[in-house]
Structure 1
Amino acid sequence: MGEVTVPVSDRDASAEPDGRITVTRQGHVLLMGIDRPEKYNGLTPKMFSELADAFTQLDEDPELRVGVLHSFGKHFTAGLELTKFAEGMKKGDSVTEEKAQARVDPFALKRKCSKPVITAVQGICYTAGIEMMLASDIVIASKDTRFAQLEPRRGLMATGGGTLRFIERCGWGNGMYHLLLCDGEFSADEGLRIGIVQEVVEPGTQVARAIELANRIATLAPLAIQETKRSAMLYVEEGEAAAKAVLDQVQAKLANTEDAAEGVQSFIERRAGNFKGR
């Protein structure tokens, strides 16, 4: 299992006023950091473009197995910096503005990442921040996290997946309660109760915990992990019949891999598997 090292930002805010996304490799794990803390990590078009690049790198690099999305400073993100997106919204432009849908969409509304992503959140996590974390697979929240899905207060609606994934994760009543009331912030414990958060941890430990879980996943057979995510996504998007229809053929494909042979051998020898992703 890889060593847990939490990245530290060295960004010069005056040189990069529109923020940036940091990319750090730790073994088979890719850390993607939102870095604009002086503006509550408010998201700009530049940052979304860099996020798409980072997610695409994770998806396409065979040596990378798991991603961790995190942020620097006291807050995850206050959401979009609306003044930088308002004109595009009037034209119906997508926030992510993917070029021919070639890159992975951080909201997972277009091209999706085939590999697991864990999101670590803290402090303010509003609007687009919630939608990005809900596009990931596992969410680790600091106890001080404050969530809010507030778009109707600005005459807009959540279009980064919030209207879909609140219902998917929480059920109709809990989803509508927070999507429609827009009644201010709710806590990490409430997020855990309704299902948008999987673990609540002490402040300052959320990124380390996310990396720890990512490292654990990265020790497993990567092809099997990716097919597990793909099967679950197929169920959500196309239903039970579609997911069931391909179970046997996918399992047969996996059973004929080198990793499956290694899995059997490691079972016989009572040791951890050494998986190569082939």
Structure 2
Amino acid sequence: MKLPDRSFATITVTEAAPGVALVTLDRPERYNAMTDQMFVELERVALDLDQVDDLRVVVLTGAGSAFCAGYDLADADRLADLGAIGMLDQQERGARALLAVRAIRVPVVAAVNGPAAGGGLALALQADIRLASPEAKFNAAFVKIGLTAGDLGTSWLLTRLVGPAVASEICFTGRMVHAEEAFRIGLVNSVSEPDKLLGDALDLADRIVANSPGGVQLSKRALHANMEIGSYAAAIELENRGQALLTRSTDMPEALAAFKEKRRPVFKGE
């Protein structure tokens, strides 16, 4: 897999395994807090990775002891001085970055290695799957600073993960949700043993990579689309089209042949 040849100031991108890109927020001295530059770079990383033909999984994590502490308070002082249009531009810059992460065509696994606060929670929510370390903790404490939890997709995604009542309580109080509770309420898929988080994320990525690339990508497309479709009939129609399309690929005949021959299939995603 050939990754885009770019360097970034706030993010590193490496190949963790064949087909697996590891994206690391890299401002550990600031707990990987978000800045305008990080938003621009995160969008660029996501768009670049989406053009890598043999990309199969993206693992997203943070350097050091935090996943992402939200918007950098060192930059926040100037927000009150922005006009309405300037603030809207600022907000949309962040929203574009997180939407680009969510829209990557392959599964995104968030390895939440520490605090994910505010915009950091919103970023974790963009992933298809979230794994947490015991040190992970989450909050949406916007109300504590006079802002709304309707930020960067949080109000839409959190509600669908944990239900409206639990999401309301978390957002209205601004309290912290620690790793074990996050697992219990469905905010994360699992909590790893100490120092095992990245290994667990890469093991999960390996299990995804073992499957048909087209099958995985169209599964993601169907799951995302059907969170927004308002009727069962429309969901079935979308699913039917995906299945019909995939029967025209080389991967399905290969999977059937491998099953009959009692061997592991060799998928090409063609």
Return the TM-score normalized by structure 1: 0.85
C-alpha deviation, 1:245, in angstroms:
1.1
Is 1:21 paired with 2:17?
A: no
Distance 1:83 1:145 in 2: 23
Equivalent pair of 2:43/2:98 in contact (CA under 8 Å): no
Distance 2:92 2:18 in 1: 28
Equivalence for 1:121: 112
The share of aligned pairs that are identical, in percent, is 32
Is 1:262 paired with 2:254?
A: yes
Equivalence for 2:225: 234
Please provide the CA RMSD for this pair.
Answer: 2.2
Amino acid at match of 1:20: T
**Which has the larger share of helix?**
2
Distance 1:224 1:218 in 2: 11
Equivalence for 2:161: 169
1:245 alignment partner, SS class: helix
Task: Give the number of aligned pairs.
Answer: 256
Distance 1:213 1:254 in 2: 23
Equivalent pair of 1:75/1:122 in contact (CA under 8 Å): yes
Which moved further from structure 2: 79-88 or 65-74? 79-88
Cα pair distance change 1:83/1:96, threshold 3 Å: farther
Equivalence for 2:130: 139
The structure 1 residue matched to 2:26, chosen from 17, 30, 35, is 35
C-alpha deviation, 1:229, in angstroms:
0.8
1:237 alignment partner, SS class: coil
C-alpha deviation, 1:248, in angstroms:
2.0
2:244 alignment partner, SS class: helix
Which moved further from structure 2: 236-245 or 88-97? 88-97
Cα pair distance change 1:32/1:111, threshold 3 Å: closer
1:172-193 CA-partner distances (Å, limit 9, x unpaired): 111101011113x221111111
Ranges of 4+ aligned residues in structure 1 off by more than 6 Å: none
Equivalence for 1:92: 88
Unaligned runs of 5+ in 1: 1-10
Equivalent pair of 1:45/1:95 in contact (CA under 8 Å): no
Amino acid at match of 2:256: V
